[in-house]
Structure 1
Amino acid sequence: MKASNDLLTDKFGRTVKSLRISLTNRCNLDCIYCHSEGDEGSRNEMTVGMISDIVTTAAKFGVNRVKFSGGEPLVRKDFEDILRSLPELKDVSVTTNGVLLKERAHSLKEAGLDRVNVSLDTLDPEKYAFITHGKPEMLNDVLEGINAAIDAGLTPVKINMVLLKGINENEIDDMIELVRSRKGDLVLQIIQVMDFRDGAQYDLNAEQIEKELEKRADEVTMRKMHHRKKYIIDGAEVEFVRPVENKEFCANCNRLRITADGKLKPCLLVNDNLIDISNAKTEDLPELLRASIDRRVPFYRDYKDITIIKDKTKTGEQ
């Protein structure tokens, strides 16, 4: 029997329609602002069957979108198997650093992936090496991966550019030009850096950046999710993501997160209300999902509060 959709509506009226699932904490890069800290050792990861059971159960409550993240999801060689195991959904996407994307873009599309977000903070090889602790030549792998994703039809490809003071704030125009050159196949998401690891020292004035984008835009629209503005600048689509000190980021949140080791995580910046489902039976998942929704907090709390994640624990989010 199909469960009632309102069972995944929290006490503040927000209905969960989307899952963000971390597939692994492992990563082949070690970015300066990432709180996973390049963890290569953790293999306590959910199985294909477990992921399938969670998504299938959530779909019965009206969840119709899934985004996979990491760590780096493509270090899992069974990602295509995971995609094939899913029920029919409205949208299935992944956030990746793109290094391994070129060789798998077409197989991922064939397995059921709809879209891809690629983390790309710079177009300068030396800056890329500094930010990621990777090799300068890996930037070309990422760019080739983006091209492969477009060729496979994993579009629009969203470029996630974390804005870093003193490093890449002068590259916004270059990124906009990259997006414009692909004529609708790319979208630029400029993302405010969060205070994980060494992130605070790279934070910029987010309001000022948005004002500058708005001045240049030919058109400005609003996305309901996170009340996020979309700017059309000379034909390029640009969004600015502000998760820090932003009440609107939480007010329209319709997403439930799941960590790589199998914990339901109701809120992005809260780490004291997780529910462990790693050993749960399939028949117990509906009640655990409802319990997780009940733990969602009201709209917005200062992310520097002591109850907010601040200890750099590895949550599998990125």
Structure 2
Amino acid sequence: MEINPNKAVYSLGIGLTNKCNLNCPHCYSRPMQQSDLGLADIKRILKLFPNLKKINFGTGESIFNKDFREIMDFFRKNNIQMALTTNGLTIEQLEDKYLSWFKDIDISIDFPNAKLHDKWRGQSGLFNLAIRGIEKV
């Protein structure tokens, strides 16, 4: 793949995994094979984007990628800002040190009340767990 040097990419969204702790009926990743990008994959991708300043980890719950902490450490050492998109349920599994490395953490709240959110997600109690994730951040 060739990148046009006149069109620098400064921000990139990437899915480190499509593994998730939920089974939302509306999710496009649900029927996919469960797979991860490893640190070697990330290093190859980063070479394509030498001007990269910010990365957003989305698609699936990144904490389920066995290399997630190592990948975060790699981006931090390369002075690339990190953001995380999550359903909020896995936030408590991340140590405060790693949470502090994120410039942005986006927690998906689909509706402004528990009943609608939980119905959309297909399981009761998820709204309150997402709120707990927000409170930890």
- Which TM-score band applies after superposition, normalised by the shorter structure? 0.7 to 0.9
Cα separation, 1, equivalents of 2:22 and 2:79? 32
Query: Which of 114, 129, 143 is equivalent to 2:131?
Result: 143
Alignment of 1:120-139 (within 5 A): 120-134=109-123, 136-139=124-127
Offset of 1:8 from its aligned partner?
A: 5.3
Aligned residues: 133
CA contact (8 A) 2:38 2:67 kept: no
Q: Which residue of 2 aligns with 1:42?
A: 34
Cα separation, 2, equivalents of 1:147 and 1:77? 25
Offset of 1:102 from its aligned partner?
A: 2.5
Structure 2 gaps, min length 5: none
When normalised by structure 1's length, the TM-score is: 0.38
CA contact (8 A) 1:26 1:38 kept: no
Cα separation, 1, equivalents of 2:69 and 2:53? 19
Query: Which of 6, 18, 41 is equivalent to 2:11?
Result: 18
Per-residue CA deviation, residues 181-228 of structure 1 (Å, 9 max, x unaligned), is xxxxxxxxxxxxxxxxxxxxxxxxxxxxxxxxxxxxxxxxxxxxxxxx
Offset of 1:23 from its aligned partner?
A: 0.8
Q: CA RMSD for the aligned pairs?
A: 2.4
Offset of 1:58 from its aligned partner?
A: 4.0
Per-residue CA deviation, residues 1-51 of structure 1 (Å, 9 max, x unaligned), is xxxx96151xxxxx4221111111122223343211265x523x2212321
CA contact (8 A) 1:8 1:16 kept: no
Cα separation, 2, equivalents of 1:96 and 1:36? 14
Tell me the SS of whatever aligns to 1:68: strand
Structure 1 gaps, min length 5: 10-14, 150-318
Residue 145 of structure 1 aligns to which amino acid in structure 2? G
Tell me the SS of whatever aligns to 2:56: strand
State the identity as a percent: 23
CA contact (8 A) 1:25 1:72 kept: yes
Residue 45 of structure 2 aligns to which amino acid in structure 1? I
Q: How has the CA–CA distance of structure 1 residues 139 and 105 changed in structure 2, closer, same or farther, with 3 Å as cutoff?
A: farther
Q: Which residue of 1 aligns with 2:64?
A: 75
Offset of 1:124 from its aligned partner?
A: 2.8
Per-residue CA deviation, residues 141-200 of structure 1 (Å, 9 max, x unaligned), is 211111111xxxxxxxxxxxxxxxxxxxxxxxxxxxxxxxxxxxxxxxxxxxxxxxxxxx
Runs (4+) off by over 3 Å: none
Q: How has the CA–CA distance of structure 1 residues 78 and 102 changed in structure 2, closer, same or farther, with 3 Å as cutoff?
A: same
Tell me the SS of whatever aligns to 1:128: helix
